[in-house]
Structure 1
Amino acid sequence: MLAPDLVDNLRGRKPMLWLNPGSRSRDDPFSPELVDTAEHRLLRAGPLLARVLPELAGSDGLIESPLIDAQALRDALGGQSRWLLKADNRLPVAGSVKARGGFHEVLEFAEQVALRHGWDGDDFAALAEPCWRECFATYQLVVGSTGNLGISIGLLSRALGFRAQVHMSDDAKQWKKRLLREQGVCVIEHAGDYAKAVAAGRAVAEADPQAHFVDDERSLSLFAGYAVAGRRMAAQLKEQGISVSASNPLLVYLPCGVGGAPGGITYGLKQMFGGHVHCFFAEPVESPSVLVQLASGLLNPVSVHDVGLSNRTLADGLAVGQASMLASACMQDRLAGVFTVPDASLSYYLELAWEKLGERVEPSATAAFAGPGWISGSQAGAQWCARHQIDPSRATHVLWCTGGSLVPDSEFQQWLS
């Protein structure tokens, strides 16, 4: 049950910081061993990805992004301590945070199909051969998406020879639909929001024995793939000589839609750093689905529509009315909190990312930029820091940038202007 004052703030579309009480009401629906399996699968599949994706030719097939200095952005926003940008907008091929989880699930499905058809499970690169493409062509991957997960699933599915069908709301970005169709992906549009697109995709897959539905709300495979990012960032921090400890904590700010990608990343980071890392989700004021769900408890699903919000936002990748119950359950005592961001701030942050860092990002990718300000400059943030004995001026602040490199020039210039 949501507190009346919280409901009033949500309905007033007031940017706010909600602090998670960290109480646990149910067991995790996810096993930590699945992250090990996902990390191993992505490494084994590297040679296959390098063969089927021109962008990875001559590489080891690693799908990863740089961790870059963001002090210029910090100075522009009046922050303190060290700021870094995890530039998932630069991820090869798919160009967004959805790449790791999406690619992992496609690869896991390809592995399962190939094993059923006689593959010995040894050489992943062999699955690029014509005989396997012919086999994969009899199968289909189906997904409901606001855009970026559809791109991740669609592009790799087609590269391996699978058929792919992406269900999207009719107000999702047209350039994303066009990009998918140009790669041979079947895009089906639906009136209504993301939830209706997901339901339609699920129904199609359930009726086709040769189809596999990629469920952004419930998939353990997606969640495991996303969690690998936390481990990889731990290695990047070490390479840069950045230690994480009680006296030098890591604060990470992640844009959040349905919750799977930021939830998986948080899970992976918690595996690596335990109580020395503190993760906050960033959600639009019209679409705070994880905030509403966690604040309501996990007894029943709760939608932003239930508190009178529209789920209409410039941040199309975050326009999700109902959070993943899988992600919400895993975040019960792992997530530090959620802050909300108005659309006007997203436009401002997008311009700053371009001017100060030269980073081409989507509006939804900039939602994280408000995080350090909430922790260092708000009463709620000060109370949280005092409770956890954290000095934000000694912390490393990581802004997770979730997508943008595939955005057409015309679209990006329109955002800037």
Structure 2
Amino acid sequence: MSQLIHGKPLTEWLHMYPLLEKMMSTEEVFWLNPNYTRWTNMAKELPFDEGDVREAEQRWKRFAPFIATVFPETKHSEGIIESPLIEIENMKKELASMFQLPIQGKLLLKCDSHLPIAGSIKARGGIYEVLKHAEELALEHGLLSLEDDYSILASDKFRAFFSQYSITVGSTGNLGLSIGMISAKLGFRVNVHMSADAKQWKKELLRSNGVNVIEHHSDYSYAVEMGRKEAEKDPNNYFIDDENSPHLFMGYAVAAFRLKKQLEEKKIVVDKDHPLFVYLPCGVGGAPGGITFGLKLLFQDDVHCFFAEPTHSPCMLLGMMTQLHDKVSVHDFGIDNKTEADGLAVGRPSKFVGKTMEKLVSGIYTMNDDRLFMLLKRMKDVEGIALEPSALAGVYGPVQLLAEGKTYMEQHELPVKNATHICWATGGSLVPKEEMEAYYQKAVNF
């Protein structure tokens, strides 16, 4: 690689960022963010505040009667799309044994893998942005008022109205799934541009729900670009931009407010003496970024968020470390962006999320696919929980932090014995049984 990379020879990049050498060799790394800043010193710099998240929360509540009507699986929660928070004590013992490392504090799994409708974390952002767009259209045309019972949106009248409009998105799979499912229920025409790494069963599930799936032989960034170009041709075609959407971001941020309530119900205290560590799988960055923002609003310096990426797709780490954000791709440094963690197979990060997270995220770590599969098998064996490979990225977090992050713990004077660790599981419940069995069998050798 003798050519210049963004104007500099490789030797200069390696001198500036020594971690790059391991990243280029697709070895696992643990990076602490040198720009991480105390909340009080940087909260005013952020583009959003608590009011924005509260507004999003209210929109979710307005739509709850509609969701309960068209998705019977949400009736018991009265149309609120939420996932359980469960303690995984057996997995905690398993991790300690596997890595010969005591895992101090509580270990919990946030089961967005089992969110209703879309079976993944994307049910938060993807569904929220479609609902926001639908509400704006209906209000603008005088068909709806904020005081109405939104279950009326399930009527033929509204389906006929929304059928005049299209929604388009580019996706590796789960975002397309969430947007396709909710858009089709409302009556929108939906186009999902899928990257080469998207799983076949996700495409088939979308098509069976009346969604137009366009397959590409290239990666996520290309699928997004093609979706964007298509939407630009038609003023009635709304493009959901996974790389730059503040609306997706807000949908994800609401999760933090729900999590706070779940922690209170479990009588789990979060303060200086009882720190909260949250490990979030990261693709383009919208979901982990939005959740981190929400958590920081609520818990400020008492919560510490770490993003998890595959060794072959460390785009957010590369973007934040070099401060180039979306200007840099993993391909620029010879990293192939090929991973079984399809939701995380992203070569270029979101500039919007990277810049918003510059001082908020504590660090980023990477893990190889073999380890994802090994943890997938152990999670199924000891907890009976089936997750797709990308959802295991968060489970490796406590190991990485306790093995590699001692300087962070010391610097912030964090009493690890009182810690609560939350691994965010991002997808899994909609994976077909035979596909999940294939994942499990692949892991048997590890």
TM-score (norm 1): 0.97
Instruction: Give the C-alpha shift of residue 183 in structure 1.
Output: 0.4
RMSD, aligned CA: 1.6
**2:292/2:360 contact within 8 Å kept:** yes
Look up the SS of the partner of 2:411 in the other structure: helix
Q: CA deviation at 1:74?
A: 0.5
Pair 1:35 & 2:53 matched: yes
Q: Which moved more, 1:16-25 or 1:88-97?
A: 16-25
CA positional deviation for 1:59 = 4.2
Aligned to 1:104: 128
Q: Residue deviations 1:109-156, cap 9 Å, x none?
A: 110111122124222222112111100011111000000000100000
- Establish whether residue 257 from structure 1 lines up as the match of residue 283 from structure 2: yes
Secondary structure at 2:31's aligned position in 1?
strand
Structure 2 residue 213 is matched with structure 1 residue 190:
no
For 2:380 and 2:354, locate their aligned partners in 1 and report how far apart those are by CA, in whole Å.
33
Superposed CA deviations along residues 265-316 of structure 1, whole A, max 9, x for unmatched, are 0000001100000000000001111100110114762111112100000101
Q: Distance in 2 between matches of 1:244 and 1:143?
A: 37
TM-score by length of 2: 0.90
Assess, with a 3 A threshold, how the Cα gap between structure 1 residues 392 and 203 changes in structure 2: closer, same or farther.
same
**Structure 1: unaligned runs, 5 residues or longer:** none
Residue among 115, 130, 136 paired with 1:91 = 115
On the 8 A contact 2:326/2:348 being kept in 1, the answer is no
User: Is the contact made by 2:193 and 2:226 (CA closer than 8 Å) also made in structure 1?
Assistant: yes
Q: Assess, with a 3 A threshold, how the Cα gap between structure 1 residues 199 and 300 changes in structure 2: closer, same or farther.
A: closer
Instruction: Identify the residue that residue 335 of structure 1 maps to in structure 2.
Output: 361
Q: Which residue of 1 aligns with 2:31?
A: 18
Shift of 1:189: 0.5
Query: 1:301 aligned to 2:327?
Result: yes
- Distance (whole Å) between structure 2 residues aligned to residue 336 and residue 7 of structure 1: 19
Letter of the structure 2 residue corresponding to residue 50 of structure 1: A
Looking at structure 2, the residues matched to 300 and 229 of structure 1 have their Cα atoms a distance apart, in angstroms, of 26
Q: Does 1:243 align with 2:269?
A: yes
Q: Deviations over 1:214-244 (max 9, x none)?
A: 1111111100000000111011000000000
Question: In the alignment, is residue 323 of structure 1 matched against residue 349 of structure 2?
Answer: yes
Deviations 1:5-35 (A, max 9, x none): 1211111211111000126899534454321
Q: Judge which range, 149-158 or 322-331, deviates more.
A: 322-331
Which shifted more, 295-304 or 258-267?
Answer: 295-304
The code of the aligned residue for 2:188 comes to: F
Task: Evaluate the alpha carbon distance shift between residue 27 and residue 199 of structure 1 in structure 2; reply closer, same or farther with a 3 A threshold.
Answer: farther
Instruction: Work out the CA distance in 2 between the residues paired with 1:104 and 1:11.
Output: 36
User: Is 2:243 the partner of 1:230?
Assistant: no
Deviations for 1:51-91, whole angstroms, at most 9, x for unmatched residues? 12232246410000000011110000102221000001110
Amino acid at match of 2:90: A
Residue in structure 2 matching 1:77, options 89, 95, 105: 95
Percent identity, aligned pairs only, is 48
3-state SS, counterpart of residue 335 of structure 1: coil
Larger mean Cα displacement after TM superposition, 314-323 or 46-55: 46-55
Secondary structure of the residue aligned to 2:190 is strand
- Structure-2 change in CA distance of 1:398 and 1:300 (3 Å): closer
CA contact (8 A) 2:122 2:175 kept: yes
Does the residue aligned with 2:362 lie in a helix, a strand or coil? strand
Q: Following the alignment from structure 1 to structure 2, what is the Cα–Cα distance between the partners of residues 300 and 359?
A: 35
- Alignment correspondent of 1:402: 426
- Answer yes or no: is 1:115 the counterpart of 2:139: yes
Q: Matches of 1:206 and 1:31 in 2, distance apart?
A: 31
Report whether the alignment pairs 1:280 with 2:314.
no
Distance (Å, rounded) in 2 between the aligned partners of 1:23 and 1:248? 20
**CA positional deviation for 1:400:** 0.4
1:207 pairs with 2:233 = yes
The CA distance in 2 between the partners of 1:147 and 1:112, in whole Å, is: 26
- Counterpart for residue 7 of structure 2: none
